[in-house]
Structure 1
Amino acid sequence: MNSRGESPRAPEQSTARNAAIDLLRGLSILLVVVHHVALRIPLKGGWLETLLPRSLLNAIAYNGYEAVFLFFVISGFLITGNALERWGSLANIDLRAFYVRRGARILPCLVLLMLVLSALHLTGTAYFTIEREGQSLPRALLAVFALHLNWFEGMTGYLPGNWDVLWSLSIEEVFYLGFPLLCLLLRRQSVLLVALCLFALSLPITRAALAGNEIWQEKAYLPGMAAIATGVMAALIAHRTGVIDRWMRRAMCVAGVLGIACNLLFGSVLWPLIGNGLMLVLTLSAGLLLIALHRDVAAAPRGTRWLASMGRLSYEIYLTHMFIVFAAVALYRTTVADPRFGFLWYAPIVLSCWLLGAILAHVWSIPCDRALRARWLKPATAAVRRPDGAATLR
């Protein structure tokens, strides 16, 4: 069985998607989008506050950062699961094929985004102009393509919103540059599992050690990589475990959902008690949930397919949603809209983000992914498949 709940198969054979994991990714990207809207069109003080408890409103509006760490875990799980089904063992990873696949999935959208953002900066477009001292367009471009935009922001401050979201990409891709090399070096899966376990459990320690710089603490390499390592570890465990008893699977699902829900709903209450351990609860709960769900190939339940669709488009939505957010916020601020009803803007914004992501995927990223694989991979390993990739916030 592989990371999307599929039976063992020949490399690149077409298979069904794992709707449960798509739903988890969809929830994550939804939380990111809503968070970036809520920072500019607050839910607090609005009409919803008279109907919903404050803890639920906060969970809806202010868990974008936690959602990114969910993405990290899902990314590690999917990429590892795909590698296991493709090569049978992480010790057999084909370095060239691994890197080509990552590049084919990531670079087309990223290069296009950099061209658009550069043009917007050069024309002085509001919300997209790099103005902070110590920052410039060439330096920002270097930080993006040299995978240290997170460090660059930690040293110089936040970049404009559509640049800022790329901090997570720096963490993910640095991890995946070294991940196959580590697999080939250690070779024995048991040794790799021990190393991953220690790395995953280090998350609270590394976050606490970085407390002197708020931006760097949020965006440093080690905490994010610890979350990815949790996903990798979960995929290895799922691969080795085989069939899970139905009742055990349900118990794991319940525990995973409760861990994530407690983090999102009651984080402000739990933080004084366990501090940075709260993020570890989140990542371990997500890993447990993924182990339980990895064989689930059933279609998304009716009424949730829109969320699963957002999960499938999460990379494209993540890279482009700030265009929609900034346009909507500018329109909101030029109207005489009653702030009590600001929540009415959320659904159209989310729908527009989905639409832009879908257009980008079908017009640009999927065709480019297929073309690059066909050009740089051997025919036997370059068969066309929807590039769901792992979740670099997609």
Structure 2
Amino acid sequence: MPPAESTRTGIHPDASVRNAGIDLLRGLAIVLVVFNHLGLRIPLKKTALADVLPTWLLSRLNYNGYEAVFVFFVISGFLIAGNALRRWGSLERIDMRAFYARRFARIVPCLLALVVVLSVLHLAGVRDYTIIHANQSLPRAIVAALGLHLNWYEGQTGYLPGNWDVLWSLSIEEVFYIGFPLVCLLTRRRAVLLTMLVLLALSLPFTRAVLDGNEIWQEKAYLPGMAAIATGVIGALLAARWPAPSAGQVRALYAFGVIGLLASMLGGRWLWPLLHDGVMLLLTASAMSLLIACQARPPRPPRGFGWLRAWGRLSYEIYLSHMFVVFSVVRLYRVADGDPRWGFLWYLLALPLCWLLGMAVERWLSLPCERWLRARLLRAPQVAGNPLPATVVTD
């Protein structure tokens, strides 16, 4: 999952005002990722739920994790570009130092901690965390994870253990954001930048089709993921130029977004023969539509869905840590010789544990480290030997 900036708009990370709609969308996406990784090991269609729900629906609940990551890509592009527009007025005036400092502070603490923990578990020979492929090694996996090319490494050598594997999306997102401010500053003209972004966004179906010979690389190549991020950036630019859509326009955006998202995620088996990889373009366009609508008029969260917003707020931390819970719960399920018909009950154990672990990671690692790093990396330069006050953290 891409570690997007906060859904807070122009305020400090520990403030409480958030965009409820974007949090709900992020929460839905991370739940689908967790369902995917649980479903690969405890399929819902083999449980007693199949007696009351259609198996195709249970399968879609289990196997939309990849699509959910692309929704995260769109959200990431939308939030980071939107925050840059509010902070600097236009993308052509991005402060590269501040931009990179914020990305570094948000991403590196959790990434380093995860790589250290996974390295220790590999060296200890812990099952589910040991790199066993003959053409893979721990040093090379560490270089791939920290060098932002773990997706390419897996495309060349095969899948890494699950907790390493989740870092493929981080590689795509951060390579995009290394080049993003450079492109913004070099083009200088919004029309040129927007044209480039549109071409990249529309390339999604074609780049995936070209990569059809390698299943792993087709899923995890840079360009398809970057196309989804570009869609989010386009959405932020459109929202900035269209700050006050009418109520009818907002309803239309919500309708297209919801219908498109449901169609691409639930109706894939009917749409893929018709649209092929165009289904992914429908998915990203629908997510962009929902984000624009949410920014214009955040929805009132349905009663009882507060937990989903909480998941959205912790989506980065849950994404990086949830496989520890998945492996543990699946191990317990197998040790207990679990009846597949009651496998869905193990989801009820895994979900709160994923949230609790994500909350602990945020409280004790990501949030304090991010504040500490920003306070130092974003400190204003000294003038005539006198230190100026640190810049205010705004996201």
Q: Percent identity?
A: 60
Matches within 5 A, 1:75-154: 75-154=76-155
Matched, 1:57 2:58: yes
Unaligned runs of 5+ in 2: 381-388
Shift of 1:45: 2.2
Aligned equivalent of 1:392: none
Matches within 5 A, 1:61-76: 61-76=62-77
Shift of 1:231: 0.2
Unaligned runs of 5+ in 1: 388-394
Shift of 1:11: 9.4
State the secondary structure of the residue aligned to 2:41: coil
Aligned pairs, how many?
383
Q: Amino acid of the residue matched to residue 80 of structure 2?
A: I
Aligned equivalent of 2:226: 225
Q: Do the aligned partners of residues 368 and 233 (structure 1) sit closer, same or farther apart at CA in structure 2, a change above 3 Å counting?
A: same
TM-score by length of 2: 0.93
Shift of 1:3: 9.7
Q: Is the 8 A contact 1:19 1:296 kept in 2?
A: no
Q: Is the 8 A contact 2:268 2:279 kept in 1?
A: yes
Cα deviation, 1:142-170, whole Å, max 9, x if unaligned, reads 00111100000000000000000100000
- Take 1:381 and 1:225, find their aligned partners in 2: how far apart are those partners? 33
Q: Is the 8 A contact 1:12 1:382 kept in 2?
A: no
Shift of 1:301: 3.3
Shift of 1:71: 0.3
- Take 1:353 and 1:11, find their aligned partners in 2: how far apart are those partners? 26
- Take 1:38 and 1:18, find their aligned partners in 2: how far apart are those partners? 30
- Take 2:46 and 2:11, find their aligned partners in 1: how far apart are those partners? 55
Q: Which moved more, 1:108-117 or 1:336-345?
A: 336-345
Q: Amino acid of the residue matched to residue 103 of structure 1?
A: F
- Take 1:381 and 1:235, find their aligned partners in 2: how far apart are those partners? 28
Q: Amino acid of the residue matched to residue 329 of structure 2?
A: A
Q: Amino acid of the residue matched to residue 31 of structure 1?
A: L
- Take 1:381 and 1:231, find their aligned partners in 2: how far apart are those partners? 30
Matches within 5 A, 1:5-44: 16-44=17-45
Shift of 1:54: 2.2
Aligned equivalent of 2:204: 203
- Take 1:96 and 1:86, find their aligned partners in 2: how far apart are those partners? 13
Q: Is the 8 A contact 1:3 1:77 kept in 2?
A: no
- Take 1:148 and 1:185, find their aligned partners in 2: how far apart are those partners? 25
Cα deviation, 1:218-253, whole Å, max 9, x if unaligned, reads 000000000000000000000011200001100110
Greater relative CO (CA pairs within 8 A, separation 6+): 1
Aligned equivalent of 1:390: none
State the secondary structure of the residue aligned to 1:44: helix
TM-score by length of 1: 0.94
Q: Do the aligned partners of residues 38 and 11 (structure 1) sit closer, same or farther apart at CA in structure 2, a change above 3 Å counting?
A: closer
- Take 2:153 and 2:320, find their aligned partners in 1: how far apart are those partners? 19
Q: Which moved more, 1:375-384 or 1:275-284?
A: 375-384
Aligned equivalent of 1:310: 311
Aligned equivalent of 2:275: 274
